[in-house]
Amino acid sequence: MTQHNEAPIRVGLLGAGTVGSQTARLLVEQRDELSARTGRPIELVGVACLDPSKVDAPWIDKALLTTDTAGLCQRADIVVELIGGLEPARTFVLTAIEAGASVVTANKALLAKFGPELYQAADERGVDIYFEAAVGGAIPLVRPLRESLVGDRVSSMLGIVNGTTNYILDEMTTKGLDFEVALNDAQAKGYAEADPTGDIEGEDAANKAAIMATLAFHTATSIDDVTVEGITSITADDIAAATAEHKVVKLLAVVENGEAGVSARVYPALIDENHPLASVHGSFNAVFVHAEAADDLMFYGRGAGGAPTASAVVGDIVTEARHIAQGCTGPSIPLYKDLPKAPIDASKAAFAVRFLIRDKPGVLAAIATEFADRGVSINGVNQDLQPTRHDPGYSGELQQLRIVTHQCDELTLRETVKAVCSLDFVTGTPSILRVLD
């Protein structure tokens, strides 16, 4: 016979920033409805922050504010970690687990670095750890990987998982803006942080790629296993050249489980304007999952923002509250495989390389020879691009030469580009972009 426990399920919130504040709002404003869905009252018992005087959200009772974060971890049934970063977040999460609390977090950096350790700690203590908001904001992606697709074999995932960079590239494409102008616009509108490094250098997407690979392939994949390229080198010329070829530039996270092992990569790529990812605008995210039986799945939605991310956080809180109310735990994260990590030269792709050249007879033949000598096959050449800036000491206009290759490995491609750049008529830094098949 089931015994009914009417005691409130205590939620401790660590962090009162953008997402933390919106999470508190949903918990307070929807308390009755969330409790009805759970079967027991859900009560916010504390909000830990560095400076309570700076918290001005009207829905957060000032009496709940505390600087005793460790103490809150030990008196809550569910600890919601939204402070970000590696430490002290890791210590607080482990403190909560040791105290018998389940954890909900949106901290992708923490999970990309210490995920397997935290999953094991939770499993050994008999509590849950949920993190839907760590990848894709409001998009339900993590739970389908943990539960819906657990009977299938996922072979690859790729998509747009960073709203800031997608907004910047989208503005550059639709409005013809330079990178810096688009970045400043993103900051003014709140889509980019004051220090946008983590986004524009691809680090945020890389953290998410590590989590995606770990869940999809049941093998521990760390941020240290992810190769990363950001978008800081993307210029208006790159965007214009892509547009002329009916393509767009997107920053992609790509994880694959191939013959050579698991690869997790983040890089800007050219995709055809008719590809579904080409129509993902603004700060939206979209992820494709390819599984053996399910075939292709696409997840799309708001990838950032306080309220959308808080939606995913509160969804995890209610899920865990239901488990507590029913006296059970959710599914663990089985990392039973120890798959090798694929070397960088195991991955092949087509590339678009844009050189700046001092145009004169024989240039194209000399460049083609460098490609041929290294076994890189050329698929197409476009010299009909707008001339670019003048080179100091050079009286003529610099020309843009764009070469698209057939599939080759990246190391060979970069060696080829380096050789071309040593030719006396090539100047500046070439642009290298993968071409999505």
Closest among 60, 363, 355, 300 to 159, alpha carbons compared: 300
- Is 169 annotated as contributing to ligand binding? no
Burial class (CB in 10 A: 0-12, 13-18, 19+), 424: exposed
User: Which residue is associated with the tokens 């015994």?
Assistant: 3
CA 64, 330, 19, 98 dihedral sign is: positive
- Is 108 annotated as contributing to ligand binding? yes
* Cβ pair 152, 292 in contact under 8 A: yes
- Is 15 annotated as contributing to ligand binding? yes
- Is 279 annotated as contributing to ligand binding? no
- Is 420 annotated as contributing to ligand binding? no
- Is 57 annotated as contributing to ligand binding? no
Known catalytic residues? 208
Residue type, 233: S
- Is 21 annotated as contributing to ligand binding? yes
Region of 218 on the Ramachandran plot (φ > 0 left; ψ -120 to 50 alpha; else beta): left
Closest among 67, 47, 204 to 136, alpha carbons compared: 204
- Is 341 annotated as contributing to ligand binding? no
d(CA 105, CA 153): 26
Q: Which two tokens stand for residue 397?
A: 């206009």
Q: Which residues are annotated as a binding site for NADP(+)?
A: 14-21
Q: Which residues are annotated as a binding site for L-homoserine?
A: 193
Q: Which residues are annotated as a binding site?
A: 14-21, 108, 193
Q: Which residues are annotated as a binding site for NADPH?
A: 108
